[in-house]
Amino acid sequence: MAGSPRRPAGRRLQLPLLCLLLQGATAILFAVFVRYDRETDAARWHWGNRSNADNEFYFRYPSFQDVHAMIFVGFGFLMVFLQRYGFSSVGFTFLLAAFALQWSTLVQGFFHSFHGGHIHVGVESMINADFCAGAVLISFGATLGKTGPAQLLLMALLEVVLFGLNEFVLLNLLEVSPDGDGVGGWGWAGPGAERGGRGVAVGARGCPSTSAPPPQVKDAGGSMTIHTFGAYFGLVLSRVLYRPQLEKSKHLQGSVYHSDLFAMIGTIFLWIFWPSFNSAPTALGDGQHRTALNTYYSLTASTLSTFALSALVGEDGRLDMVHVQNAALAGGVVVGTSAEMMLTPFGALAAGFLAGAVSTLGYKFFTPILESKFKVQDTCGVHNLHGMPGVLGALLGVLVAGLATHETYGDGLESVFPLIAEGQRSATSQAIHQLFGLFVTLMFASVGGGLGGLLLRLPFLDSPPDSQCYEDQIYWEVPGEHENLVQGALRAEEPETQA
Amino acid sequence: MAGSPRRPAGRRLQLPLLCLLLQGATAILFAVFVRYDRETDAARWHWGNRSNADNEFYFRYPSFQDVHAMIFVGFGFLMVFLQRYGFSSVGFTFLLAAFALQWSTLVQGFFHSFHGGHIHVGVESMINADFCAGAVLISFGATLGKTGPAQLLLMALLEVVLFGLNEFVLLNLLEVSPDGDGVGGWGWAGPGAERGGRGVAVGARGCPSTSAPPPQVKDAGGSMTIHTFGAYFGLVLSRVLYRPQLEKSKHLQGSVYHSDLFAMIGTIFLWIFWPSFNSAPTALGDGQHRTALNTYYSLTASTLSTFALSALVGEDGRLDMVHVQNAALAGGVVVGTSAEMMLTPFGALAAGFLAGAVSTLGYKFFTPILESKFKVQDTCGVHNLHGMPGVLGALLGVLVAGLATHETYGDGLESVFPLIAEGQRSATSQAIHQLFGLFVTLMFASVGGGLGGLLLRLPFLDSPPDSQCYEDQIYWEVPGEHENLVQGALRAEEPETQA
Amino acid sequence: MAGSPRRPAGRRLQLPLLCLLLQGATAILFAVFVRYDRETDAARWHWGNRSNADNEFYFRYPSFQDVHAMIFVGFGFLMVFLQRYGFSSVGFTFLLAAFALQWSTLVQGFFHSFHGGHIHVGVESMINADFCAGAVLISFGATLGKTGPAQLLLMALLEVVLFGLNEFVLLNLLEVSPDGDGVGGWGWAGPGAERGGRGVAVGARGCPSTSAPPPQVKDAGGSMTIHTFGAYFGLVLSRVLYRPQLEKSKHLQGSVYHSDLFAMIGTIFLWIFWPSFNSAPTALGDGQHRTALNTYYSLTASTLSTFALSALVGEDGRLDMVHVQNAALAGGVVVGTSAEMMLTPFGALAAGFLAGAVSTLGYKFFTPILESKFKVQDTCGVHNLHGMPGVLGALLGVLVAGLATHETYGDGLESVFPLIAEGQRSATSQAIHQLFGLFVTLMFASVGGGLGGLLLRLPFLDSPPDSQCYEDQIYWEVPGEHENLVQGALRAEEPETQA
């Protein structure tokens, strides 16, 4: 540790200066644009003379807190599996997500709650900002260990904007031409945009209790907007940053016994709170209730299929911790779009089972090919946990939306598929919109990831050398592991008189 | 690790095939029987035209999430204390609980919410399924390290059925003959069963806001149905699986420094969320509020008595982590039956104090006897944490129920003891029913545990050899602990140029 | 470990006997004084004939659970960073907080909810008791590693009383003479006290929905009453207990790699739940909502400034885990007083940024001076995390209170500043009261900490010798770290036949 200094001042100063610059910029933008919404503003709330019990805080804050735990505890510790990259995994998660929360408040605010020259914030914007941070952390997982913190902040700077843009297109703009063949062009959604104009502060994901425009594409839990987008953004970015000499740090790429246990903290917190993740932004009442229930069952099934497949393909029938840590979560991803729909409990089990199986097999067979053939070094295997299950989830959304009927949803159709309920769209048309949303998301993610990769390759940016990837020491003061313990034990052996 | 393969294909395939079989079976049963209840179904909820704020989701989901964290984080990490069994402890907890949630949805559904040929699910069934998973994990604690995952799934398969049956008997069937001496036989509870017949989807534990039959025996937090049942089922099962040669793996039976810290994660999450566990299924309003409060105080007292007794009986006055990790939680167990009653804050402290003391002394003095005299190898000491405190909790329920008066409960008597409030039963009669519930539970647990032990002894089942108990390697790909670190440190010493 | 016994019986018995004595005393006091409040009592709740949905449980219990997690998981694990003091850090946190919850129920109850000879308890008293436990744990942080558990219990015994007294003075008594110069004497607040007399059970922090007296000084999240008080109490106490020979245990004062990861569990849980901490006791509706939102933003900014400053002052631009673990949390402390006010989102960012920067620089530059010049050995750096940010938070409260206008708050002014709304006080006068509250708090903390230090120096108390500070072995049975692993590995190498 007392080695010679490795980094010139120009590189050492990148992280602190970038942090200060970004924080200064967002603070100024907050001062100019961000205001309390009518549920958090003292004057406006009391002016409305509503019962305190009606404040949206009580309907969404418990779910928000679960989401918040997933972002910081879940993602943070899930990535601690690397033996010498724990400080960076949990620390950079912390830094990136903290920045993304501020920045996405601004970006999403401009797209979804910009009225009278101001962005209005409350518990819904908090949930949406955490969702955007989740997408950034998924991309971080693809590039884990191979990028410095300043690079990662730049990645977040770009990705948050593209996330917001993609989400805006899917929710507000995407309207497949009704006279076309269903795969034709998309344009500005006239009526929706109009209504948006007179709307008040609303959640990005279209809570129907407000006067926001009804979403063109449904994606409450973000199979498309969060998981597919975050994964393919990160994978393409990782492709652009491909390091042919990465085996120089191969000895650091694995886990050790207790780093795997730390990672299980992340896994379990993600797993238990995923029902809250998918249900946090949905319609109140039966909507949140059903979404949580479907997600709960889907996760149980992906857990069973993960254990089954992991043991089936494991050497001597042994289970692999990488599968359990990751693929067991695929059940949450795969119902991100459809959990608020009438998926049925059986549908949730079937979807979860499939996602867990695909994800496990992906880790076993596809990740090596991804590196050798496609030159994508996917550290956390986000393609298996977020990429493929996200795409499957989008397709499941296509299917379940296409099956929507008035009989099944009753008056609840207005909450889940307002455009169908209002007669503006058939179920088939909604399905086509959903499918088109997937293509748009893949396009935004790929182009964005490519741009991000080029940005991060700027030669003056501080990046770890090949031999020091997956290594905390380059960015952190790292204490020893055992020396002091041994010294302590030796001293403890010495006889001593009581004070 | 690269040792010779140890298990023949017939054994290696047991886990994957059993997972696939069980998942397939529950999926089919879900398709046939399981439907959304009226609070989660889009059509039925909106047909009711109720305010979204009335959806039971908002009253029970935050508590559910705390219970969910206890099951997966709490139980999972509490058992990580073994030095080389962390992957199995947290991993098999994950697998067993995921299966138990599905399977108990079906079993409890058949007993408690089977109407019109369908089982109806929602947040109440989620809580009840998690409770059942808790009982399975308690039994897992007794047998930890000595059984393979396929054996454990079979144990869960059986235990979930017996748990549901025992719970059904206590809540719905147990009626001590009113003309008898109070310890006489029990039979089908006519009026209750009748009402059950016209009931709608209801929670198993008798939330009075529904038209379910009033419970014959009160046991909201499960001192009997969860803790006593789970503990004695596991202990009898462990007795049947007695391994006389277990000292062959004695070197693996202890903890190491950081495995004890991981276990404290489990302990603390169980401790903080236990008020939610006991209150999750009780009557709304004062019922949930009072239950949480009583549990909170009981746990503080069991913590103090645990530290007192642990230091008192420890060598040189030293505290024992095993006691702190476990006995401090006994306060939650001991008020499982009575916390919803008018136990009084003082009563909660006294009960918690007693439970912590009994549990600590059990670990110190009784666990060795249990093994040497009774041939029960109780890995986690579930007899001390769940067995004795569970029985004490049942007896406390007898006492507090017997003291119930109209004066103390006012109109709240209808919520807590509906049969007393309706004049169908005296407080003394309720107390006798409670006591009888304990006997029934002990009987179901013992017979069930015996059957379970015989099932798990089927010779073709994959079971770890005596010398490899408490060892992850037999079922998991286990990374090294330190080698890579050392290599990494050596490489880091080498001079290198910046990329 | 099998060393010679070190402590005579008189010292060994201190912890168990003190635990038993304290538990016995609080139990008796509970029996005499503590009763359910009208929201938890079966008879009183149902007598009120209110809807179960109105029970305060549903508005505060989810926040309470987050606070509870912060106290036990957050504080407990944050202090696990020491390499050989993990058992004590998490264990004594557990013990101290469990006792403090009981004892502060009594002390705060006497001050704030003592009516008709009884203390009334419910979710508000649970939150307030947890808050008091937080202050005790902050003081524990200053003295971590240098005191025995019996000493710590005595510290808690004293500190809880002074905490309650200070809080009572700030909330109920502190009234700056209206005709004075604003910094003159304070006396009994006549009208407030009167109203208190006819009040019912109320939260200590002045929830306006009850008939409690309006608070003289606002401090919902406890910048003064919790953080400033706890920090300076602990620092003065640590000064009195100054150990000039502490370098004898210097080899134990640092962290090791995985102890820093355990500490990050504490950090992250504190960070994610801090919005609930500050908002738990505020007015319902917009009050809780706005408080949570402000705290959320403040924490994101303190995280960015911590990373920026840590890298800026670190050797070779490296980040320091100590800063990330602690200073990133300063954003929660600094808005403890003002988050419920109309701080604005920008104000929250600015405050958080400042607090993170001050805290990081404090760790780097001031902590060494504190020890060398002021002879204060502040193990966890509570001066940097709670002391300075707490004082800054109090001053921020002065500023924001002084800026309060009817225009900004509308009818919400009644909730946030009832005395201003009622015309009893100007905004400037409120600001002066706030400032005076800070001085009173500093006085109580300093005098209390001095008394506490003298108490803990009583020569018969069991205290660790200088060379065994920061060492678990003196109070705990400590397992080995690696021996068994090595043995196990050796045995596993031996060939063996399957059972």
C274 has a pLDDT exceeding 90:
yes
Q: Tell me the per-residue pLDDT of C362-396, one tens digit each, with 9 for 90 and over.
A: 999 999 999 999 999 999 999 999 999 999 999 99
Determine the residue among A6, A207, A268, A343 to mutate to test chain B binding: the one whose Cβ has the most chain B Cβ atoms within 10 Å. Answer: A268
Range name among A41-50, A77-86, C358-367, C421-430 with the lowest pLDDT average: A41-50
| Segment B81-96 mean pLDDT | 96
Closest partner residue to A66 (CB to CB) among B65, B123, B484 is B65
pLDDT (0 to 100) of residue C11: 83
**How would residue C6 be classed by pLDDT, with cut points 50, 70 and 90?**
low
Q: Which residue of chain B is at minimal alpha-carbon distance from A322?
A: B477
Count of CB contacts below 8 A, A vs B? 261
Do the chains contact at A271 and B94, CB–CB below 8 Å? Answer: yes
DSSP C35: E
Give chain B positions within 8 Å (CB) of C56: 289
Please name the residues in contact with C495: beta carbons below 8 A apart, sequence gap of 6 or more.
Answer: none
Determine contact: B272 vs chain C, CB below 8 A. yes
Among the residue ranges A304-318, A357-371, B166-180, the one predicted with the least confidence is B166-180
Q: Which of C5, C26, C479 sits opposite B260 (nearest CB)?
A: C479
Element (H, E) at C36: strand C34-36
Q: Is the pLDDT of residue C331 over 80?
A: yes
Confidence of residue A6 (pLDDT cuts 50, 70, 90): low
d(CA C277, CA A7): 41
C6 touches A: beta carbon within 8 Å: yes
DSSP C213: P
Residue C176 confidence (pLDDT): 66
Question: Could you tell me which residue, A233 or B190, shows the higher pLDDT?
Answer: A233
* pLDDT digit string, tens, across residues B116-174: 999 999 999 999 999 999 999 999 999 999 999 999 999 999 999 999 999 999 998 87
Q: Model pTM? A: 0.92
Among chain B residues, the shortest Cα distance to C475 is held by B318
Whether chain B has a CB inside 8 Å of the CB on C43: the answer is yes
User: How many Å apart are CA B359 and CA B295, to the nearest integer?
Assistant: 17
Distance from C-alpha of C142 to C-alpha of C237, rounded to nearest angstrom: 8
Question: Would you tell me how many other CB atoms lie within 10 Å of the CB of residue A3?
Answer: 11
Identify the band that residue C172 occupies on the pLDDT scale cut at 50, 70 and 90.
confident
Distance from CA of A357 to the nearest CA of C (A): 31
Give the model confidence (pLDDT) of B198-241 as tens digits: 222 334 454 444 456 788 999 999 999 999 999 999 999 999 99
pLDDT-wise least confident of B96-100, B295-299, C177-181, C288-292: C177-181
Helix ranges (H only) for B169-256 are 190-198, 229-240
Strand A114-115 with C118-121, pairing: unpaired
Residues 97-136 of B with CB under 8 A from A: 98-99, 101-102, 105, 121-123, 126
8 Å CB contact of A53 and B56: no
Asked if A311's CB is within 8 angstroms of B43's CB, the reply is no
Read off the pLDDT band of A228 (50, 70, 90).
very high
pLDDT of residue C485: 44
Q: How confident is the model at residue B306 (pLDDT cuts 50, 70, 90)?
A: very high
For the segment A455-467, what is each residue's pLDDT rounded down to a tens digit?
Answer: 999 999 999 999 9
Tell me, yes or no, if A342 comes closer than 8 A to chain B by beta carbon: yes
Q: Please state, in angstroms and rounded to a whole number, the distance separating the CA atoms of residues A33 and A19.
A: 21
Q: From B494, which residue of chain A is nearest by alpha-carbon distance?
A: A3
Q: CB neighbours of A472 closer than 8 A, spacing ≥ 6?
A: A84, A85, A86, A87, A88, A478
CA distance C120 to chain B (A): 10
Residues of A in contact with C344 (CB under 8 A): 31, 35-36
Tell me the CA distances in angstroms from C404 to B119, B248, B346, C414, one per residue in order. Answer: 56, 73, 44, 12
Over residues B322-337, mean pLDDT: 97
Mean pLDDT score, A367-377: 94
Q: What is the C-alpha to C-alpha distance for residues C320 and C328, in angstroms, rounded to an integer? A: 12
Nearest Cα of chain C lies from the Cα of B312 at a distance, in angstroms, of 6
CB contact under 8 A, C40 and B289: yes
pLDDT value, residue B48: 79
Quote ipTM for the complex. 0.91
Out of C46, C76, C98, name the one closest to residue B300 (CB): C98
A186-215 pLDDT per residue, tens: 333 333 332 222 222 334 454 444 456 788
Whether residue C30 contacts residue B352, with contact meaning beta carbons closer than 8 Å, is answered with: no
pLDDT in tens, A404-413: 999 999 999 9
Longest dimension (CA), chain B: 92
A227-248 average pLDDT score: 96
Q: Which of residues 130-169 of B touch C (CB under 8 A)?
A: none
Q: Is C349 within 8 Å of A102 when comparing Cβ atoms? A: yes
Is the pLDDT assigned to residue B59 strictly greater than 70? Answer: yes
Interface check A55 vs B, CB under 8 A: no
Q: Return the closest-CA partner of residue B303 out of B277, B264, B342, B341.
A: B264
Contact across the interface for A22 and C304, Cβ inside 8 Å: yes
Mean pLDDT, all residues of chain B: 88
